[in-house]
Amino acid sequence: MRFERVLLIQPEYPGSHYGKFHPPAGLGYVAESLRQAGIPYRVVDLGLDNDLDQVAAAFRAFEPDVMALSQMTYMYKHTYAAIRRIKETCGDVPVVVGGPHASTQREDLLRDVADIAYAITLEGDEALVALCRGDDLAAIRNLIWRRDGEVVYNGDRPFIDDLDRVHFPTFEGFNLDGYQFHDIDIATSRGCPYSCIFCSVKHAIGRRIRYRSPTNVADEIAFWHERGYRKFNFIDDNFTFDLERAFAICDEIAARGFDDLNLTVPNGVRADRVNRDLLARMRDLGFYYMALGVEGGNDKVLKCLKKGEKMETIRRAVADATDLGYGVTLFFVVGTPGETMADIRDSAAVAQAYPVIDARFNNLIPTPHTELYDWIEAHGRFLVDPDEYLNNETSWSYRPVFDTPEFPVDERIRALKWLRRIRKRIQRRAVARKLGPVGGFLAKPFLPLAVNDFTERMVMHNKVLSRLAAGILRAKD
Protein backbone atom coordinates (compact mmCIF):
# COMPACT_ATOMS: atom_id res chain seq x y z
CA MET A 1 0.00 0.00 0.00
CA ARG A 2 1.20 3.50 -0.87
CA PHE A 3 -1.43 5.26 1.26
CA GLU A 4 -3.24 3.26 3.94
CA ARG A 5 -5.45 6.00 5.42
CA VAL A 6 -7.21 8.78 3.49
CA LEU A 7 -8.67 12.02 4.82
CA LEU A 8 -11.39 13.18 2.41
CA ILE A 9 -12.13 16.92 2.41
CA GLN A 10 -15.04 18.69 0.74
CA PRO A 11 -14.06 22.36 0.20
CA GLU A 12 -16.17 25.30 1.24
CA TYR A 13 -17.31 27.81 -1.40
CA PRO A 14 -17.75 31.20 0.29
CA GLY A 15 -20.43 33.40 -1.22
CA SER A 16 -22.41 30.48 -2.61
CA HIS A 17 -26.07 31.43 -2.98
CA TYR A 18 -27.21 28.17 -1.48
CA GLY A 19 -26.64 26.51 1.84
CA LYS A 20 -25.34 23.00 2.30
CA PHE A 21 -28.40 21.07 1.18
CA HIS A 22 -27.22 17.50 0.59
CA PRO A 23 -24.22 15.24 1.12
CA PRO A 24 -21.94 15.63 -1.94
CA ALA A 25 -22.53 12.74 -4.32
CA GLY A 26 -19.14 13.13 -6.03
CA LEU A 27 -17.17 12.74 -2.80
CA GLY A 28 -19.63 10.03 -1.81
CA TYR A 29 -18.62 7.95 -4.80
CA VAL A 30 -14.93 8.41 -4.01
CA ALA A 31 -15.51 7.42 -0.38
CA GLU A 32 -17.50 4.37 -1.43
CA SER A 33 -14.72 3.24 -3.79
CA LEU A 34 -12.26 3.40 -0.90
CA ARG A 35 -14.68 1.54 1.37
CA GLN A 36 -15.22 -1.21 -1.20
CA ALA A 37 -11.43 -1.55 -1.53
CA GLY A 38 -10.99 -1.82 2.25
CA ILE A 39 -9.07 1.46 2.53
CA PRO A 40 -9.91 3.38 5.74
CA TYR A 41 -10.97 7.01 5.36
CA ARG A 42 -12.45 9.92 7.28
CA VAL A 43 -14.55 12.81 5.92
CA VAL A 44 -14.57 16.53 6.73
CA ASP A 45 -17.08 18.69 4.83
CA LEU A 46 -15.99 22.30 5.28
CA GLY A 47 -19.41 23.50 4.17
CA LEU A 48 -21.04 22.18 7.35
CA ASP A 49 -19.96 25.06 9.57
CA ASN A 50 -16.60 23.36 9.83
CA ASP A 51 -13.29 25.15 9.81
CA LEU A 52 -9.68 24.21 9.33
CA ASP A 53 -9.29 23.55 13.05
CA GLN A 54 -11.59 20.58 12.59
CA VAL A 55 -9.46 19.36 9.71
CA ALA A 56 -6.46 19.54 12.02
CA ALA A 57 -8.39 17.69 14.74
CA ALA A 58 -9.41 14.97 12.29
CA PHE A 59 -5.82 14.77 11.09
CA ARG A 60 -4.46 14.27 14.60
CA ALA A 61 -7.11 11.69 15.49
CA PHE A 62 -6.91 9.70 12.25
CA GLU A 63 -3.26 10.23 11.18
CA PRO A 64 -3.89 9.89 7.42
CA ASP A 65 -1.18 9.17 4.88
CA VAL A 66 -2.83 11.35 2.23
CA MET A 67 -5.52 14.01 1.96
CA ALA A 68 -7.91 14.10 -1.00
CA LEU A 69 -10.16 16.95 -2.10
CA SER A 70 -12.78 17.35 -4.81
CA GLN A 71 -12.53 20.81 -6.36
CA MET A 72 -14.67 23.01 -8.60
CA THR A 73 -13.21 25.81 -10.72
CA TYR A 74 -15.47 28.28 -8.92
CA MET A 75 -13.50 29.85 -6.03
CA TYR A 76 -10.45 27.77 -6.94
CA LYS A 77 -8.04 30.23 -5.29
CA HIS A 78 -9.92 29.87 -2.03
CA THR A 79 -9.44 26.10 -2.24
CA TYR A 80 -5.74 26.56 -3.03
CA ALA A 81 -5.39 28.77 0.06
CA ALA A 82 -7.23 26.20 2.18
CA ILE A 83 -4.85 23.47 0.98
CA ARG A 84 -1.90 25.67 1.90
CA ARG A 85 -3.25 26.33 5.40
CA ILE A 86 -4.06 22.65 5.90
CA LYS A 87 -0.51 21.67 5.03
CA GLU A 88 0.91 24.34 7.32
CA THR A 89 -1.18 22.94 10.14
CA CYS A 90 -1.00 19.23 9.41
CA GLY A 91 2.47 18.85 8.00
CA ASP A 92 3.84 17.65 4.72
CA VAL A 93 1.23 15.02 3.91
CA PRO A 94 0.56 14.57 0.15
CA VAL A 95 -2.57 16.18 -1.26
CA VAL A 96 -4.62 14.69 -4.11
CA VAL A 97 -7.13 16.88 -5.97
CA GLY A 98 -9.90 15.58 -8.20
CA GLY A 99 -13.17 16.88 -9.59
CA PRO A 100 -14.06 19.28 -12.41
CA HIS A 101 -11.14 21.68 -11.84
CA ALA A 102 -8.54 18.95 -12.20
CA SER A 103 -10.31 17.61 -15.28
CA THR A 104 -10.14 20.95 -17.09
CA GLN A 105 -6.82 22.33 -15.82
CA ARG A 106 -4.87 19.08 -16.18
CA GLU A 107 -1.07 19.55 -15.90
CA ASP A 108 -1.40 23.28 -15.20
CA LEU A 109 -2.90 22.45 -11.82
CA LEU A 110 0.32 20.90 -10.51
CA ARG A 111 2.49 23.45 -12.29
CA ASP A 112 0.63 26.29 -10.59
CA VAL A 113 0.21 24.78 -7.11
CA ALA A 114 3.25 23.22 -5.48
CA ASP A 115 1.15 22.07 -2.50
CA ILE A 116 -0.70 19.55 -4.69
CA ALA A 117 1.18 16.28 -5.15
CA TYR A 118 -1.31 14.48 -7.40
CA ALA A 119 -4.39 15.27 -9.44
CA ILE A 120 -6.96 12.84 -10.80
CA THR A 121 -8.99 13.77 -13.85
CA LEU A 122 -12.38 12.62 -15.12
CA GLU A 123 -13.73 9.61 -13.20
CA GLY A 124 -11.74 9.20 -10.01
CA ASP A 125 -13.44 6.10 -8.59
CA GLU A 126 -10.76 3.62 -9.69
CA ALA A 127 -7.73 5.89 -10.08
CA LEU A 128 -7.64 6.97 -6.42
CA VAL A 129 -7.87 3.35 -5.28
CA ALA A 130 -4.99 2.44 -7.62
CA LEU A 131 -2.92 5.33 -6.26
CA CYS A 132 -3.52 4.32 -2.65
CA ARG A 133 -3.02 0.64 -3.42
CA GLY A 134 0.51 1.28 -4.65
CA ASP A 135 0.18 0.64 -8.38
CA ASP A 136 3.03 1.84 -10.57
CA LEU A 137 2.51 5.61 -10.84
CA ALA A 138 3.30 5.62 -14.55
CA ALA A 139 0.58 3.03 -15.17
CA ILE A 140 -2.34 4.80 -13.46
CA ARG A 141 -4.49 6.44 -16.11
CA ASN A 142 -6.18 9.75 -15.19
CA LEU A 143 -3.29 10.51 -12.82
CA ILE A 144 -1.18 13.68 -12.91
CA TRP A 145 2.03 13.51 -10.87
CA ARG A 146 5.62 14.70 -10.68
CA ARG A 147 8.54 12.64 -11.97
CA ASP A 148 12.01 14.11 -11.42
CA GLY A 149 10.52 17.56 -11.06
CA GLU A 150 8.47 17.34 -14.26
CA VAL A 151 4.68 17.24 -14.28
CA VAL A 152 3.46 14.09 -16.01
CA TYR A 153 -0.04 13.12 -17.13
CA ASN A 154 -0.56 9.43 -17.82
CA GLY A 155 -3.48 10.00 -20.18
CA ASP A 156 -7.17 9.25 -19.95
CA ARG A 157 -8.42 5.88 -18.84
CA PRO A 158 -11.48 4.57 -20.67
CA PHE A 159 -14.72 5.74 -19.15
CA ILE A 160 -16.59 3.17 -17.10
CA ASP A 161 -19.26 1.72 -19.37
CA ASP A 162 -21.02 -0.50 -16.84
CA LEU A 163 -21.82 1.93 -14.04
CA ASP A 164 -23.36 -0.88 -11.99
CA ARG A 165 -19.83 -1.95 -11.10
CA VAL A 166 -19.36 1.37 -9.25
CA HIS A 167 -21.21 0.99 -5.97
CA PHE A 168 -23.54 3.85 -5.15
CA PRO A 169 -22.57 6.05 -2.19
CA THR A 170 -23.53 4.82 1.27
CA PHE A 171 -22.05 7.97 2.82
CA GLU A 172 -20.48 6.00 5.65
CA GLY A 173 -18.61 8.47 7.86
CA PHE A 174 -20.49 11.53 6.56
CA ASN A 175 -22.39 13.78 8.97
CA LEU A 176 -25.75 13.20 7.30
CA ASP A 177 -27.66 15.00 10.05
CA GLY A 178 -25.72 18.19 9.35
CA TYR A 179 -27.25 18.85 5.93
CA GLN A 180 -30.29 21.03 5.46
CA PHE A 181 -32.49 18.41 3.82
CA HIS A 182 -33.16 14.82 4.76
CA ASP A 183 -32.73 13.60 1.20
CA ILE A 184 -30.26 11.93 -1.14
CA ASP A 185 -28.94 12.95 -4.55
CA ILE A 186 -28.88 10.09 -7.05
CA ALA A 187 -26.89 10.02 -10.29
CA THR A 188 -28.15 7.32 -12.65
CA SER A 189 -25.93 8.15 -15.63
CA ARG A 190 -22.75 9.93 -16.65
CA GLY A 191 -21.90 11.83 -19.82
CA CYS A 192 -23.41 14.55 -22.00
CA PRO A 193 -23.42 14.42 -25.81
CA TYR A 194 -24.62 18.01 -26.35
CA SER A 195 -22.62 21.07 -27.40
CA CYS A 196 -23.98 24.06 -25.45
CA ILE A 197 -21.34 26.76 -25.79
CA PHE A 198 -21.29 27.68 -22.09
CA CYS A 199 -21.02 24.20 -20.58
CA SER A 200 -17.79 22.44 -19.60
CA VAL A 201 -19.38 19.32 -18.12
CA LYS A 202 -18.28 17.13 -21.03
CA HIS A 203 -14.65 17.75 -20.03
CA ALA A 204 -15.34 16.21 -16.62
CA ILE A 205 -17.68 13.32 -17.44
CA GLY A 206 -17.27 12.79 -21.20
CA ARG A 207 -19.59 13.15 -24.17
CA ARG A 208 -20.73 9.54 -24.38
CA ILE A 209 -23.62 8.86 -22.05
CA ARG A 210 -23.37 5.77 -19.84
CA TYR A 211 -25.98 4.27 -17.56
CA ARG A 212 -26.75 2.42 -14.40
CA SER A 213 -29.38 -0.29 -14.73
CA PRO A 214 -32.93 0.37 -13.48
CA THR A 215 -32.45 -2.42 -10.94
CA ASN A 216 -29.31 -0.79 -9.58
CA VAL A 217 -31.05 2.59 -9.30
CA ALA A 218 -33.95 1.04 -7.41
CA ASP A 219 -31.47 -0.75 -5.14
CA GLU A 220 -30.05 2.62 -4.11
CA ILE A 221 -33.51 3.97 -3.31
CA ALA A 222 -34.29 0.82 -1.33
CA PHE A 223 -31.05 1.16 0.64
CA TRP A 224 -31.98 4.66 1.79
CA HIS A 225 -35.68 3.91 2.14
CA GLU A 226 -34.81 1.31 4.77
CA ARG A 227 -32.94 4.06 6.62
CA GLY A 228 -35.91 6.42 6.70
CA TYR A 229 -35.31 8.51 3.56
CA ARG A 230 -38.23 9.35 1.31
CA LYS A 231 -36.96 12.24 -0.85
CA PHE A 232 -34.54 11.63 -3.72
CA ASN A 233 -33.14 14.04 -6.29
CA PHE A 234 -32.07 12.67 -9.67
CA ILE A 235 -29.08 14.87 -10.46
CA ASP A 236 -28.08 13.46 -13.86
CA ASP A 237 -27.26 15.91 -16.60
CA ASN A 238 -29.53 13.82 -18.86
CA PHE A 239 -31.85 11.70 -16.70
CA THR A 240 -34.48 11.34 -19.46
CA PHE A 241 -32.08 11.11 -22.42
CA ASP A 242 -33.24 7.56 -23.14
CA LEU A 243 -37.03 7.62 -22.75
CA GLU A 244 -37.33 3.83 -22.73
CA ARG A 245 -34.80 3.60 -19.90
CA ALA A 246 -36.57 6.35 -17.95
CA PHE A 247 -39.81 4.35 -18.20
CA ALA A 248 -37.92 1.24 -17.08
CA ILE A 249 -36.57 3.04 -14.00
CA CYS A 250 -40.11 4.11 -13.13
CA ASP A 251 -41.37 0.57 -13.58
CA GLU A 252 -38.60 -0.88 -11.40
CA ILE A 253 -39.21 1.63 -8.61
CA ALA A 254 -42.95 0.93 -8.78
CA ALA A 255 -42.31 -2.82 -8.61
CA ARG A 256 -40.54 -2.37 -5.26
CA GLY A 257 -43.81 -1.20 -3.72
CA PHE A 258 -42.71 2.27 -2.64
CA ASP A 259 -45.80 4.42 -2.22
CA ASP A 260 -44.38 7.35 -0.28
CA LEU A 261 -41.56 8.75 -2.42
CA ASN A 262 -40.92 12.42 -3.15
CA LEU A 263 -38.78 12.65 -6.29
CA THR A 264 -37.23 15.60 -8.12
CA VAL A 265 -35.11 16.34 -11.18
CA PRO A 266 -33.44 19.61 -10.09
CA ASN A 267 -30.54 19.94 -12.54
CA GLY A 268 -32.73 20.36 -15.59
CA VAL A 269 -34.04 18.06 -18.30
CA ARG A 270 -34.08 18.72 -22.01
CA ALA A 271 -37.47 19.46 -23.48
CA ASP A 272 -36.75 17.26 -26.48
CA ARG A 273 -36.05 14.26 -24.24
CA VAL A 274 -39.44 14.09 -22.52
CA ASN A 275 -43.00 13.56 -23.66
CA ARG A 276 -46.33 13.77 -21.91
CA ASP A 277 -46.60 10.01 -21.37
CA LEU A 278 -43.24 9.90 -19.56
CA LEU A 279 -44.02 13.00 -17.50
CA ALA A 280 -47.35 11.48 -16.47
CA ARG A 281 -45.69 8.18 -15.51
CA MET A 282 -43.09 9.98 -13.43
CA ARG A 283 -45.77 12.11 -11.77
CA ASP A 284 -47.76 9.03 -10.77
CA LEU A 285 -44.60 7.55 -9.24
CA GLY A 286 -43.91 10.51 -6.95
CA PHE A 287 -42.01 13.03 -9.07
CA TYR A 288 -43.32 16.46 -8.14
CA TYR A 289 -40.59 18.93 -9.19
CA MET A 290 -38.33 19.38 -12.19
CA ALA A 291 -36.24 22.04 -13.83
CA LEU A 292 -36.11 22.62 -17.58
CA GLY A 293 -33.08 24.12 -19.26
CA VAL A 294 -34.67 26.68 -21.58
CA GLU A 295 -31.65 29.06 -21.77
CA GLY A 296 -33.04 31.40 -24.46
CA GLY A 297 -36.40 32.88 -25.37
CA ASN A 298 -36.43 32.24 -29.11
CA ASP A 299 -34.94 30.03 -31.82
CA LYS A 300 -32.30 32.60 -32.72
CA VAL A 301 -30.72 32.55 -29.25
CA LEU A 302 -31.05 28.78 -28.96
CA LYS A 303 -29.10 28.48 -32.21
CA CYS A 304 -26.41 30.87 -30.91
CA LEU A 305 -26.11 28.67 -27.81
CA LYS A 306 -25.95 25.48 -29.91
CA LYS A 307 -28.72 24.16 -27.72
CA GLY A 308 -30.06 21.88 -30.44
CA GLU A 309 -33.70 22.54 -29.57
CA LYS A 310 -36.60 24.61 -30.89
CA MET A 311 -38.86 26.87 -28.85
CA GLU A 312 -41.90 24.93 -30.02
CA THR A 313 -40.51 21.81 -28.33
CA ILE A 314 -39.65 23.71 -25.16
CA ARG A 315 -43.06 25.32 -24.93
CA ARG A 316 -44.75 21.95 -25.33
CA ALA A 317 -42.67 20.39 -22.54
CA VAL A 318 -43.27 23.30 -20.13
CA ALA A 319 -47.00 23.21 -20.85
CA ASP A 320 -47.18 19.45 -20.31
CA ALA A 321 -45.20 19.56 -17.06
CA THR A 322 -47.19 22.39 -15.52
CA ASP A 323 -50.49 20.90 -16.72
CA LEU A 324 -49.61 17.62 -14.98
CA GLY A 325 -49.02 19.46 -11.70
CA TYR A 326 -45.24 19.61 -11.50
CA GLY A 327 -43.53 22.43 -9.74
CA VAL A 328 -41.36 23.71 -12.60
CA THR A 329 -38.29 25.93 -12.59
CA LEU A 330 -37.02 27.34 -15.88
CA PHE A 331 -33.32 28.07 -16.39
CA PHE A 332 -32.25 30.93 -18.67
CA VAL A 333 -28.87 32.53 -19.39
CA VAL A 334 -28.39 36.23 -20.13
CA GLY A 335 -25.61 37.59 -22.32
CA THR A 336 -25.28 35.07 -25.13
CA PRO A 337 -23.26 36.44 -28.07
CA GLY A 338 -25.85 37.64 -30.57
CA GLU A 339 -28.54 38.22 -27.92
CA THR A 340 -30.28 41.61 -27.70
CA MET A 341 -32.74 43.27 -25.36
CA ALA A 342 -35.54 42.19 -27.68
CA ASP A 343 -34.45 38.58 -27.17
CA ILE A 344 -34.42 39.09 -23.41
CA ARG A 345 -38.03 40.24 -23.57
CA ASP A 346 -38.80 36.97 -25.36
CA SER A 347 -37.21 35.04 -22.48
CA ALA A 348 -39.31 36.96 -19.96
CA ALA A 349 -42.45 36.30 -22.01
CA VAL A 350 -41.78 32.55 -22.08
CA ALA A 351 -41.17 32.49 -18.32
CA GLN A 352 -44.44 34.29 -17.60
CA ALA A 353 -46.59 32.34 -20.04
CA TYR A 354 -46.88 29.25 -17.80
CA PRO A 355 -47.70 28.61 -14.13
CA VAL A 356 -44.10 27.79 -13.18
CA ILE A 357 -42.82 28.29 -9.64
CA ASP A 358 -39.51 29.92 -10.58
CA ALA A 359 -37.47 31.25 -13.50
CA ARG A 360 -33.77 31.81 -12.99
CA PHE A 361 -32.20 34.33 -15.34
CA ASN A 362 -28.52 33.68 -14.82
CA ASN A 363 -25.81 36.15 -15.71
CA LEU A 364 -23.68 34.15 -18.15
CA ILE A 365 -20.32 33.36 -16.53
CA PRO A 366 -17.84 31.79 -18.98
CA THR A 367 -15.71 28.95 -17.66
CA PRO A 368 -12.39 27.86 -19.20
CA HIS A 369 -12.34 25.28 -21.97
CA THR A 370 -15.79 26.14 -23.26
CA GLU A 371 -16.64 27.48 -26.69
CA LEU A 372 -18.03 30.64 -25.11
CA TYR A 373 -14.81 31.30 -23.18
CA ASP A 374 -12.69 30.74 -26.29
CA TRP A 375 -14.90 33.13 -28.31
CA ILE A 376 -14.61 35.88 -25.70
CA GLU A 377 -10.86 35.42 -25.46
CA ALA A 378 -10.39 35.40 -29.24
CA HIS A 379 -12.43 38.60 -29.65
CA GLY A 380 -10.92 40.41 -26.67
CA ARG A 381 -14.30 40.90 -24.98
CA PHE A 382 -13.38 40.19 -21.34
CA LEU A 383 -14.33 43.04 -19.03
CA VAL A 384 -13.06 41.26 -15.93
CA ASP A 385 -9.99 39.06 -15.73
CA PRO A 386 -11.03 35.39 -15.48
CA ASP A 387 -8.88 34.92 -12.38
CA GLU A 388 -10.93 37.62 -10.70
CA TYR A 389 -14.45 36.67 -11.72
CA LEU A 390 -13.97 32.93 -11.26
CA ASN A 391 -13.09 33.65 -7.64
CA ASN A 392 -15.66 36.35 -6.94
CA GLU A 393 -18.62 36.46 -9.32
CA THR A 394 -21.59 34.14 -9.53
CA SER A 395 -24.42 33.78 -12.00
CA TRP A 396 -26.57 35.74 -9.51
CA SER A 397 -24.44 38.86 -9.92
CA TYR A 398 -25.58 41.86 -11.97
CA ARG A 399 -22.05 42.55 -13.22
CA PRO A 400 -21.29 41.26 -16.74
CA VAL A 401 -17.77 39.87 -17.03
CA PHE A 402 -17.69 40.18 -20.83
CA ASP A 403 -19.49 42.23 -23.42
CA THR A 404 -20.90 41.59 -26.88
CA PRO A 405 -21.42 43.97 -29.83
CA GLU A 406 -25.21 43.59 -29.70
CA PHE A 407 -25.79 44.07 -25.97
CA PRO A 408 -24.02 47.02 -24.28
CA VAL A 409 -22.97 46.44 -20.68
CA ASP A 410 -25.20 49.11 -19.14
CA GLU A 411 -28.20 47.72 -21.00
CA ARG A 412 -27.42 44.20 -19.84
CA ILE A 413 -27.17 45.33 -16.21
CA ARG A 414 -30.59 46.98 -16.52
CA ALA A 415 -31.90 43.78 -18.14
CA LEU A 416 -30.61 41.59 -15.29
CA LYS A 417 -32.23 43.83 -12.69
CA TRP A 418 -35.50 43.87 -14.65
CA LEU A 419 -35.42 40.08 -14.97
CA ARG A 420 -34.84 39.77 -11.23
CA ARG A 421 -38.10 41.67 -10.71
CA ILE A 422 -39.82 39.38 -13.23
CA ARG A 423 -38.55 36.39 -11.27
CA LYS A 424 -39.98 37.70 -8.00
CA ARG A 425 -43.32 38.30 -9.73
CA ILE A 426 -43.33 34.67 -10.91
CA GLN A 427 -42.45 33.40 -7.43
CA ARG A 428 -45.17 35.48 -5.76
CA ARG A 429 -47.76 34.20 -8.19
CA ALA A 430 -46.62 30.66 -7.40
CA VAL A 431 -47.01 31.24 -3.66
CA ALA A 432 -50.47 32.72 -4.21
CA ARG A 433 -51.49 29.62 -6.20
CA LYS A 434 -50.27 27.36 -3.41
CA LEU A 435 -52.36 29.31 -0.89
CA GLY A 436 -55.50 28.96 -2.99
CA PRO A 437 -57.97 31.67 -4.11
CA VAL A 438 -58.86 32.89 -0.63
CA GLY A 439 -55.42 32.55 0.92
CA GLY A 440 -53.73 34.08 -2.10
CA PHE A 441 -56.08 37.07 -2.03
CA LEU A 442 -55.55 37.65 1.70
CA ALA A 443 -51.78 37.22 1.42
CA LYS A 444 -51.34 39.44 -1.64
CA PRO A 445 -50.30 42.59 0.28
CA PHE A 446 -47.66 40.62 2.18
CA LEU A 447 -46.14 38.69 -0.74
CA PRO A 448 -43.50 41.35 -1.54
CA LEU A 449 -42.28 41.03 2.05
CA ALA A 450 -42.36 37.23 1.99
CA VAL A 451 -40.77 36.75 -1.45
CA ASN A 452 -37.62 38.83 -1.88
CA ASP A 453 -33.86 38.35 -2.09
CA PHE A 454 -33.36 38.65 1.68
CA THR A 455 -36.02 36.03 2.43
CA GLU A 456 -34.60 33.72 -0.21
CA ARG A 457 -31.13 33.89 1.34
CA MET A 458 -32.64 33.18 4.75
CA VAL A 459 -34.49 30.14 3.43
CA MET A 460 -31.50 28.82 1.50
CA HIS A 461 -29.23 28.89 4.55
CA ASN A 462 -31.62 27.84 7.32
CA LYS A 463 -32.48 24.18 7.82
CA VAL A 464 -35.93 24.77 9.32
CA LEU A 465 -37.00 27.37 6.75
CA SER A 466 -35.66 25.40 3.77
CA ARG A 467 -37.48 22.24 4.86
CA LEU A 468 -40.68 24.25 5.36
CA ALA A 469 -40.32 25.73 1.86
CA ALA A 470 -39.76 22.25 0.41
CA GLY A 471 -42.95 21.02 2.09
CA ILE A 472 -44.91 23.89 0.58
CA LEU A 473 -43.50 23.05 -2.83
CA ARG A 474 -44.66 19.43 -2.51
CA ALA A 475 -48.18 20.51 -1.62
CA LYS A 476 -50.60 20.47 -4.52
CA ASP A 477 -51.93 23.76 -5.85
Residues 107-117 have a mean pLDDT of: 95
pLDDT at 51: 79
More confident residue, 166 or 206: 166
Evaluate if residue 265 carries a pLDDT over 90: yes
Give pLDDT, residue 126: 94
Residue 54: the pLDDT is 84
Q: Which class does domain 180-474 fall in?
A: alpha beta
pLDDT per residue as tens digits for the range 361-384: 999 999 999 999 999 999 999 999
Segment 22-60, tens digit of pLDDT: 899 999 999 999 999 999 999 999 888 777 888 888 999
Q: Identify the weakest region by mean pLDDT among 82-91, 182-191, 256-265.
A: 82-91
- State yes or no: pLDDT of 19 exceeds 60: no
Percentage of residues in the chain having pLDDT higher than 90: 76
The arithmetic mean of pLDDT across residues 229-254, rounded, is: 96
Mean pLDDT confidence for 443-461: 68
Enter the pTM of the model.
Answer: 0.93
- For the chain, the structural domain boundaries read 6-153, 180-474
449, pLDDT greater than 70 = no
pLDDT of 152 above 60? yes
How much is the average pLDDT of 433-461?
A: 70
Residues 6+ apart with CB under 8 A from 430: 327, 355, 356, 357, 358
Measured CA distances, 428 to 231, 349, 432 (Å): 25, 16, 6
How do residues 279-323 score in pLDDT, each as one tens digit?
999 999 999 999 999 999 999 999 999 999 999 999 999 999 999
Task: Look up residue 449 and give its amino acid.
Answer: L
Listed in sequence order, the residues at least 6 apart from 401 whose beta carbon sits closer than 8 Å to its beta carbon are 365, 366, 382, 383, 384, 386, 389, 393
How far, in Å, CA of 230 to CA of 251, rounded? 18
Q: According to the model, what pLDDT value does residue 477 have?
A: 57
pLDDT above 90: residue 439: no
Quickly state the pLDDT bin for 445 (edges 50, 70, 90): confident
Q: How confident is the model over 459-477, as a mean pLDDT?
A: 68
Q: Give yes or no for residue 89 having a pLDDT over 90.
A: no
CATH number of 6-153: 3.40.50.280
Quickly state the pLDDT bin for 394 (edges 50, 70, 90). confident
The pLDDT assigned to 37 comes to 97
